[in-house]
Amino acid sequence: MKVWAGELGFADLAVSGVDLSSAEPGLEAWLADGFHGEMDYMARHGMMRARPAELVPGTLRVVSVRMNYWPRAADAQSALDDPQRAYVSRYALGRDYHKLMRNRLQKLAERIAAEAPHGFRVFVDSAPVLEVELASRSGLGWRGKHTLLLNRHAGSYFFLGEIFTDLPLPLDAPEAPHCGSCRACLDACPTGAIVAPYRVDARRCISYLTIELKGAIPEDLRPLIGNRIYGCDDCQLVCPWNRFAQFGAEADFAPRHRLDEVSLVELFAWSEGEFRERMAGSAIHRIGYERWLRNLAVALGNATGSPDVLAALRARADDPSGLVREHVAWALARHGQRQG
Ligand code: SF4
């Protein structure tokens, strides 16, 4: 199977069982603390998330795969260091990965079926699936203190996907954790969202605030967001295991529309039509134009108050969206305070 997976562009594949009962107390505590914020679907699926055989009856094994995405050309640190530039999480610079991964997983599952007929279902970043838990039990890596999967030979810059199957495949051995005494990700998180090792309060996480949150971004967190307009990679950028990160090989994941180097002012000038046309086929499209402008307004409030930044904000002071107007007003007030 590993050879077939490699031919389909996957960097690795491993098999786990379906008994995740030991993960249930941690999941329950995380939900009880409200750490999932507005992501109601996390609570809605309840403990079914930890029970693959309830989600897909008959499932005996989960085949987890990973696919590298780190773009060769885009320099993350230089984008983060320039407050006039936009920072987009590296996984979202190119085309949305979901469709590509799902198609490849489907092909892999069909190829397995040609040799050994089986009932299967494929998942990519699907809410009811505890993908990091499954992948760590399969030995694809271990859960880092930032809660993402880490692999000794590839760091963490990869997507995960799963095939639920009723084949009794031989199990792979889990990987022991290798974070040791390191706590670089906890210290580096701009908003302190990693409240303890292996515990992320999504309500403070910049990925949640810029992607999942629909309404206003809490004011106390806005200055901490810096120029991150869609997601955040800081906990991964500081992780020592990402010295071993591997570049993505898929052309689809290469940066589009200069998202790896473009300025905040340039993006803020996009019309809704331009946003829709340019972000079609990107994960960013899903947040919609209003949240896009909200995020950019926050980043422009954190940028250096150059004439073009102030002019861009003033041009949207009367935006039809109340959400955007409020964030623009906040950004202008912040520049006013700095100048005053
Ligand atoms: S930064 Fe350190 S603690 Fe955090 S995931 Fe990486 S190795 Fe683990």
pLDDT tens profile 225-277:
999 999 999 999 999 999 999 999 999 999 999 999 999 999 999 999 999 99
Q: Is 75 a catalytic residue?
A: no
* Given the residues 82, 125, 166, 308, the one annotated as active site: 125
Atom 2 of ligand 1, nearest CA residue: 182
CA distance 218 to 326: 12
Atom 4 of ligand 1, nearest CA residue: 185
Task: Quote the pLDDT of residue 339.
Answer: 76
Centre of ligand 1 to C-alpha 133, Å, is 17
Task: Quote the pLDDT of residue 89.
Answer: 97
Centre of ligand 1 to C-alpha 184, Å, is 6
CA distance 228 to 298: 9
pLDDT tens profile 198-230:
999 999 999 999 999 999 999 999 999 999 999
Residues 89, 90, 93: CA angle, nearest 5 degrees: 95
Centre of ligand 1 to C-alpha 69, Å, is 19
Q: Is 22 exposed, middle or buried (0-12, 13-18, 19+ CB in 10 A)?
A: exposed
Which atom of ligand 1 lies at the shortest distance from residue 197's CA? Answer: 3
Task: Quote the pLDDT of residue 24.
Answer: 83
**Residue ranges in the chain modelled with pLDDT below 50:** none
CA distance 291 to 302: 17
- Residue 275, SS3? helix
Task: Quote the pLDDT of residue 34.
Answer: 84
Q: Is residue 132 within 8 Å of 198, Cβ to Cβ? A: no
CA distance 261 to 88: 9
Task: Quote the pLDDT of residue 250.
Answer: 94
Cite the beta strand spans of the chain per DSSP E.
12-16, 61-68, 87-88, 120-124, 142-143, 149-150, 158-165, 194-196, 199-200, 228-230
Is this structure's pTM higher than 0.85?
Answer: yes
Q: Are β-strands 149-150 and 12-16 bridged in parallel, bridged antiparallel, or unpaired?
A: unpaired
CA distance 203 to 201: 5
Nearest alpha carbon to residue 111 among 253, 6, 248, 249: 6
Mutate to test the pocket of ligand 1, among 147, 150, 199 (most ligand atoms within 8 A of CB): 150
Nearest alpha carbon to residue 227 among 63, 74, 55, 77: 77
Q: Which residues contact 247 (CB under 8 A, 6 or more apart)?
A: 68, 70, 71, 72
Atom 1 of ligand 1, nearest CA residue: 239
Output phi, psi for 217, to 5 deg.
-80, 130
Centre of ligand 1 to C-alpha 20, Å, is 23
**Ligand 1 site, CB within 6 A:** 144-146, 150, 179, 182-185, 238-241
Q: Is residue 60 within 8 Å of 166, Cβ to Cβ? A: yes
